A = this chain, B = another copy of it.
Amino acid sequence: MRYKLIVSYDGSNYSGFQVQKDKDTIQKRLEGALSVVLKDNISIVGCGRTDAGVSAIESVCHFDVNDEIVVGRTVGYANNILPTDIRIISIEKTDEDFHARFSAKNKTYEYYFYTGGIVPVYEKFAVNIGYNINIDDMIKGAEMFVGKHDFSAFCASNTEVKDKVRNIFSSKIIDLNDGLYKFQICGEGFLYNMVRIIMGTLVSIGRNKIKLTDIKKIIKSKDRSLSGKTMPSKGLYLKKVLY
């Protein structure tokens, strides 16, 4: 039978979500803890991969077991084994045809950033983009990514995926006061580094290095060299996955 697993993690100290040889990853930690608790060799399937340093407020996985499990005990015991920067929020029985990755309807990512001088407290979870930022243009720019587009210009150049058309349902910057903001983007799916490159493009707009009117042209160009730089993983959070 299949179980749906909701987890939350601070990715700062991990080499991303997916299992990699000789690397400490979120998936490896979750599988290790669940295998101990359930006395079985548990493999989990994630809703996608997050890169090294990327965190998740709420991420979803699934795993299969032969026998029904005691959910409350499993969550409690696994959380005791897991490091405190990885938490299981819930485990619940689900349909056999539920798939953490393929059943996902949409995903929301958030990127926390702030303007002005370095604020050590904000450095814990957000990325500083400096002084003299035209935030109004950034806010307008964010909204221009909504829709179904070929996002080749906003994808790491070493990616193997062929179809680079993605459907973005919402894309906006939310003002959290006093120079602190989050860029929130919701879509059917995302290409490798796509959110971090869109964010880098918005920063270039804020710095008047890319004009608002250029966004459509950059999308059309499919040319990675025209968009902004890939922003650091630190500010990026997988916020929610909807099924």
Binding site for B on A (CB under 8 A): 8-10, 55-58, 84-87, 89-90, 117-125, 174, 176-178, 237, 239
The distance from the CB of A60 to the nearest CB of chain B, in whole angstroms, is 14
B176 near A121 (CB under 8 angstroms)?
A: no
A121 near B237 (CB under 8 angstroms)?
A: yes
Most chain B CB atoms below 10 A, which of A55, A86, A117, A120: A120
A123 near B57 (CB under 8 angstroms)?
A: no
A118 near B176 (CB under 8 angstroms)?
A: no
B178 near A120 (CB under 8 angstroms)?
A: no
Q: Given that A176-B176, A178-B57 are known contacts, is A10 also in contact with B121, CB under 8 Å in the complex?
A: yes
Closest to A126 in B: B125
B10 near A55 (CB under 8 angstroms)?
A: no
Q: Given that A125-B125, A176-B176 are known contacts, is A87 also in contact with B10, CB under 8 Å in the complex?
A: no
Alpha-carbon distance between A10 and B8 when the two chains are bound, in angstroms:
24
A121 near B117 (CB under 8 angstroms)?
A: no
B10 near A124 (CB under 8 angstroms)?
A: yes
